[in-house]
Amino acid sequence: MQIQAASYPEWRRFSKRIVVMKVMVNGRAEHYCTVNYGARGNVVRLIDQRLLPHQFKIVELRSFEQTAAAIRDMTVRGAGAIGATAAYGLAQGLRQFNGNDPFEFDQWTQHVYDTLKSTRPTAVDLVNAMNEVRARMQTGRTVVERKTLAVAAARAFAEEQVKQCRAIGEHGARLIRPGMRILTHCNAGWLAFVDVGSATAPFYVAQERGIKFHVFCDETRPRLQGAALTAWELYQQGISHQVIADNAAGHLMQRGEIDLVIVGSDRVVARTGEVANKIGTYTKAVLAGRHRIPFYVAIPLSTIDWGLPDGGQIPIEERDEEEVLGAWGAADNGRRLWVRTANPGSSARNPAFDVTPPELVTGIITPVGIFKPGELWGKRRKLGIQNAAK
């Protein structure tokens, strides 16, 4: 694996306080967050997830337009990481504003917000993160004060994400017993968040406690986040795992080789408990239900949608058909290339997410405990909503 990683003082200060995940860089284990912000140059820094597992590279984004493009093209992906990137991108965009007129600043704020919001429609963390930033900056009396508050709010969101993921791990680790074989789908690890991850958080806490278990990583077509990202994370962390074809999960369940399923989510509807996640999650939930295998969803609080009435209203992103018609990989010389695998001349459909009904979900692992899907709305005060409508 090729390494390109500069030393950023701001990144290190943030990392030393709350980060637990490490990457081997030049033979040394180094701390990295998936996303960070440099105030001095007004830059958002991301691990380029498109290049993993063959190359580890940090990119610098010097405008909110570049940050929006990075979210859209999946340089960064995953619910929490998208949320933190959008929060930093909003603060970054506000700092690009030149002037002191409050009305013009409000118009510019809406423009930056709308640009970032349009990048990935299914994940709700992105919107919730920016809404937090906008709410906190309103106490500022001047444009300068609001810019400063926006940066502080974005940092606070990112740090809170890590704390919540660690709490998810503490609650979820109770589900993992010695010798268990666990299935996960897509990547809901530290790459998908600022650090630690949601679905992987119980793995890392269980590992810290000395529990031995094995993870099956669905490859997760068409972008192969399970094979490329989750497997890379678990390898870096020294957790026993194997990559399986997406369609192999049912076979392993039928043979009694899977004991537990833990996945992440990009949006959970609070009123109904419906779960939107990477395409193929619904299929795994159906299979788990057929074989009476516990199926859990791990999420931070920012993934909960308190507004939508039901999962039918969730916007499902449809991505470029090229993702289905071929695949990215690395040649023997390390060069990254795309290869067409489908029949020339054929077209494709590429829905990126599906929605799993609550009756197929055993429990929702949150930072404040594990709940049945139907309990979320009734537990809204405990989940951080103080003034929710009835």
Q: Which residues are catalytic?
A: 266
Q: Both ends of the chain: CA-CA distance in Å?
A: 52
Write the DSSP string, 163-218: HHHHHHHHHHGGG--TT-EEEE-S--BGGGSSSSBSSSHHHHHHHHTT---EEEEE
Q: CA-CA distance, 305 to 57, in Å (whole number)?
A: 33
How remote is the C-alpha of 107 from its chain's centroid?
Answer: 29
Please tell me whether the peptide bond between 53 and the residue prior to it is cis, using omega within 30 degrees of 0.
Answer: yes
Please tell me whether the peptide bond between 222 and the residue prior to it is cis, using omega within 30 degrees of 0.
Answer: yes
**Which structure tokens are listed for 381?**
């005060």
Neighbours of 367 (CB within 10 A): 23
CA within 13 Å, CB half, 301: 21
Name the nearest CA neighbour of 157 among 133, 181, 138: 133
Residues 6 or more apart from 137 whose CB is under 8 A from it?
A: 94, 146, 147, 149, 150, 153
How remote is the C-alpha of 363 from its chain's centroid?
Answer: 19
DSSP 232: H
| Strand partners for 22 | 31
Write the DSSP string, 93-121: HHHT-----HHHHHHHHHHHHHHHHTS-S
Range 297-306 burial, b when 16+ CB lie within 10 A, else e: bbbbbbbbbb
Q: CA-CA distance, 47 to 35, in Å (whole number)?
A: 7
